[in-house]
Structure 1
Amino acid sequence: MAANYFLTFLLLSISGGLSTALPEKPSHNLSSSPSNSGQINSNSVLVALLDSHYTELAELVEKALLLQTLEEAVTQHNITIFAPKNEALERDLDPEFKRFLLEPGNLRSLQTLLLYHIVPRKIGLHEWPDSPTESTQHDTLATNPIGLTSKDADNKLVGTAKVVHPDDVVRPDGVIHGIERLLIPKSVQSDFNLRRNLQSISAVKPEGSPEVDPRTNRLKKPAPSVPAGSPPVLPIYAAMAPGPSLAPAPAPGPGGPHHHFDGESQVKDFIQTLLHYGGYNEMADILVNLTNLATEMGKLVSEGYVITVLAPNDEAMAKLTTDQLSEPGSPEQIMYYHIIAEYQTEESMYNAVRRFGKVRYDTLRLPHKVVAQEADGSVKFGDGDGSAYLFDPDIYTDGRISVQGIDGVLFPAEETKSETKTETRTVTHVKVVAKPRRGKLLEVACRMLGAFGQDSRFTTCQ
């Protein structure tokens, strides 16, 4: 019995000693913990970044769609932002590299670059190593470590960038240090090099087997390649379809054989622009439904040709009669006359007519040309009653297709053929009966008989 009391006393003393030796677990205030606060207060380092003088970095953060990511990071832990100065992002950065970062397809590289400047803990100036030989590594939000070193007491380095404004912005949940230039991780630099040297790593273009010229028994030289963006070899009329009554010419598909331009997309864009602009529904309907001109124009633009469309508005199209549209191929011929085989804008046409007076533009309806001249401070097309004014300038201009709205339907001037009048003379041919020739003696005898009035009795004297 005494042994049981002794064991009980021993266990109680041991448990009491353990309770006094172990420290109490601190009680966390959930309302003040950053991991449980659902919103960013106005005193946050993220708000301070957006309102600071580091405007270029703040703009890139918004373009990279990183605001929500940084808000979640701030709610979970403190952060340190190494902010490059504005001059480093405006003037000192390679323009080609900046263009690469701002392309929509390289959003992941831009996000990695910006997250490389943010460390998920608060690092003050006193935490830099004092000795030049020492270095501390910290993981960034981009999962790439970054090193902190010191040249001396006044020169602190982040990677290879010098800290020019240490502890520039200090907030309870983070700090911002100003650095002299942008930090570029190796992964982003590798992506940029791969994109820049894409031709050197791309697949080899397949080529056909060499051909032998039977006349010279030598290899034929391949045709020289046409550089991208060069003007087409053939004129625009040679690339057109044979005629409105025939099927479209076997022109190349969208993009052409050299893949210069996507003509069908550009034609689709300008037709949608006509519909959204308003007042040109009839023109769009003729191009798409009544004819195949939209497809043909897309093929021309894909081959590198440029065109200017003079689009009559709906009021002008409503004045067309049934006879003008009922003949086979008449809608195509009317539209061909409204398509100029060159790229013109309202400014270029007005400057031309101001300088040269009358200007004749080649149309797709050969051999007719449309005449432009200045009238009432605008551009007037055609002459007489069939003229039209430039009504809605520059409805659509993309460098390949230009659409100019006019208030009338144009028709080519009728060719007047001079008719040569030929005078016909009627010549009456008189049949002359040859009389038998009389001798000298008979004539003398007839005269003597005539003197006496007796010549009528003899037939030879009549």
Structure 2
Amino acid sequence: MDCLRSGVLGLCLVVLIVASEVSAVQKVEKSSSGLSSDAQASVGSTLGSSSQPAISSNSVLVALLDSHYTELAELVEKALLLQPLEEVVGSSNITIFAPQNAVLERKLDPEFKQFLHEPGNLKSLQKLLMFHVVPRRIVAEQWGNKVHQTLAKDGLRLSEKGGKKSVDLASISHPNAVIRPDGVIHGIDKMLIPKSVQDDFNQWRREALAVIPQGAPVVDPRNIKSTKKAASTKDDYTPEHSIYYAMASAPSLAPAPAPGPGTGHHWFDGEAQVKDFIHTLVHYGGYNELADILVNLTSLATEVAKIVSEGYRVTVLAPNDEALGKLTTDQLSEPGAPEQIVYYHIIPEYQTEESMYNAVRRFGKIKYDTLRVPHKITATEADGTVLFGDGEHSAHLYDHDIYIDGRISVQGIDKVLYPAEEIKKTKGRKLEEEKTQVKTTNHTRGRLLGAVCGLFERVGGISFVSSCQ
């Protein structure tokens, strides 16, 4: 305030800005003090960026959260390693050797589990988890007998003998369990423990036993789940090709053939499932307009049935009647417009309200592919639900899980979504129309004023009109 009274306003502003930046850096350093040096380096690299980029819904990290390895995903989140792993995935492919949930729930030493969950052992937990991640892509077909450096800076030996693959002391139970563009997950039958973490655990156990002896854990046999594997069914089928392979070559112009005998390897009755979800939309109430577009205005019902029959899964973001009622007749009457609108609301993967909310809550921003290639939908967390799109054109997840059958998921939203590029083009076109209208108005006004001035000049009264001078 003294410098304000003295009139040196510029100096005051500089002092305030420097003070705020120092305070922000101190807060970040305090929050990351529990991380390992590698994790701190990853966090520090993000300080210069003002906003966190959206992670793709097809990322291996998102797949880890929605897989058979959720126990490992929870440990990664507890160890504050999600953001550092996002940084690694952003620059290179990764390979994760993931113990199954049953391994971490029932086969892990209770004392070792207690050691990992104590706050004072955060660095050991981080080192243990990073020992399971190799910063390069290693698929089962490229195994070999090699040693790869992990994110923990320790070497991890891969070996193959008699067709059986192993990593360190663990066997590969599910090779290529999850394959994504930015990484691979292999299922393993035990936790990988580096020597440094084992030494930390031994030291912790000696100190713990010297103070308070620990008794054997009490095991309730009623809580032990059966490890017997269920027989494989057709529902385990995963398509070999991309979902776009199952679509017609020109879906907006030519309808796809209805699924039937002799038309390919149809594993599911997609036509019955599509009829079921459209029937559900009608009876749910508030989604009659979308049902009408799917059945009467387009051939999309047949197209979706073909996709589902081929074994693919889809998620439909369904705008309610109020949102679709705002579309004009011109918007729907343009060739291919209804198809393009609906294609942008179909995600070629199976998502429920819970899975989408968990993803945006943990990663902040997710990008989902749509059947309107190459446009994507951005999802964030807002008001305790999922928000699709940006700005005034964003839509909330309004009615969740209207229809979910494991193949088709329908989620109700309160607005019609448009690609960001299309919104920019529309705004630019409106701006050009406004400019043209202003130019036309000014031109007409100029011609009228010229005629009036000419009239006054002929009668000798031009000096009375200031605009004519």
TM-score between the two structures when normalised by the length of structure 1: 0.40
Q: Relative contact order, CA 8 A, sep 6+: which one is greater?
A: 2
- Compare the two structures and name the one with the higher helix fraction: 2
Q: Is the radius of gyration larger for structure 1 or structure 2?
A: 1
